[in-house]
Amino acid sequence: MAGVADWHFTCPSCATEYSTLAPRINDASFRAVIDEDQRAEGLAPVRAEGYRSILESLATLPGVHHGRLLEVGSAHGWFLGAAANRFDAVVGIEPDDAVRTQPVNKRATVRAGYFPDSVEAGEMFDAIVFNDVFEHIPRTSDVAKAIAAHLTPGGVALISLPVSTGFIYRSSKAMARWGYAEPFKRMWQYGYPSPHLYYFSSQGLARLFEPAGLQLSMMKPLPTLRVNGLWQRIRYGEDSLPRAAVSYVAALALAPVLGCLSPDTCAFFFRRAA
């Protein structure tokens, strides 16, 4: 079903939203859009809060306290570094040459490439993690099957991503319908090297993973973007100054109530049957 832009569509049965935007990872012509060094410095404190929450939740699930962890789309290696002391070994996969970083911790290794091509046949993991990555990946049903094939029995797939039911996302979509499309385009990372291809609902994501034999065992809302985190994004070039100033003032005004509204980012924990 057609959405609010000529590149935006919605599934009427599960409320999953998708785009026809094309990824341009490692395309030099798109590199001028983002200063990756400044962006990384701005995002690091924002990501750290979410990663702490994710790892604490993961620790509550039996069978995934140790063993091997794989993160798909490891980028700067922040999550790998946080997880390294909790697992016997952690492996990252990252296709983007501009952000791929090898963590200092010797338990962590990073491979260049895509999942599942960069995983050996028969290579198994106790946890497979996608942090703000799954919504950027095409052919998601094939990826779900590959996840199941590389999870140990009882293993957990952890998918954290923005959801289509979030308050800020739905507000940006409403503004797009009223003729102000910039916030909505920003939510989809329109014009970026790796735009969003999906905004899943919880029902749509569960429906995608069930045929692969992965059952949703827990869903956890992640911390709402705090004002200090937003300031870091503004300071280090994640947004243009005029647009960022408006966002910052709005965040200050909304900070007391954001925690009571529908979360914009959630972590989903899918378990493979033992």
Residue 162's pLDDT is: 92
pLDDT band, residue 197 (cuts 50/70/90): very high
Confidence of residue 259 (pLDDT cuts 50, 70, 90): low
pLDDT at res. 68: 94
* Confidence at residue 254, expressed as pLDDT on a 0 to 100 scale: 56
Q: Using pLDDT thresholds of 50, 70 and 90, give the confidence band for residue 151.
A: very high
- More confident site: 23 or 106: 23
pLDDT at 5 over 60: yes
Q: Give the C-alpha separation, 52 to 54, whole Å.
A: 5
Segment 29-35 shows an average pLDDT of 56
Span 103-145, pLDDT tens digits:
777 778 999 999 999 999 999 999 999 999 999 999 999 999 9
- Within 64-118, strands assigned E span 68-72, 89-94, 108-112
Instruction: Show the tokens assigned to 212.
Output: 């692969």
Q: What is the pLDDT of residue 24?
A: 84
Q: What count of residues does the chain have?
A: 274
**How confident is the prediction for the chain on average, in pLDDT?**
83
For residue 258, the model assigns a pLDDT of 56
pLDDT recorded at residue 174: 93
The predicted-structure confidence for 68-81, as pLDDT tens digits, reads as follows 999 999 988 889 98
pLDDT higher than threshold 70 for residue 56: yes
Model confidence at 157: pLDDT above 60: yes
228-234, Cβ contacts within 8 angstroms, sequence gap of 24 or more: 228/45, 229/45, 229/46, 229/49, 232/41, 232/42, 232/43, 232/44, 232/45, 232/46, 233/42, 233/43, 233/46, 234/42
What's the pTM? 0.84
Cβ count near 71 (within 10 Å): 27
- State the pLDDT at residue 229: 44
pLDDT over 60 (residue 60) = yes
Q: Span 251-262, mean pLDDT? A: 59
Q: Give 26's pLDDT tier (boundaries 50, 70, 90).
A: confident
**Residue bearing tokens 């999953």:** 16
> Which CATH architecture does the domain made up of 8-224+259-272 adopt?
3-Layer(aba) Sandwich (3.40)
Please state, as a whole number, how many other Cβ atoms lie within 10 Å of the Cβ of residue 58.
22
Residues 265-274: tens digit of each pLDDT: 899 999 998 7
Residue 221, pLDDT above cutoff 80:
yes
How much of the chain exceeds pLDDT 70, in percent? 77
**Cα-Cα-Cα-Cα dihedral sign, residues 24, 133, 261, 39:** negative
Category of 104 on φ-ψ map: left (φ > 0), alpha (ψ -120 to 50) or beta:
alpha
Say what the pLDDT of residue 237 is: 46
Of the candidates 267, 224, 228, which has an alpha carbon nearest to the alpha carbon of residue 42? 228
pLDDT-based confidence at residue 243 (cuts at 50, 70, 90): low
* 8 Å CB contact between 100 and 112: yes
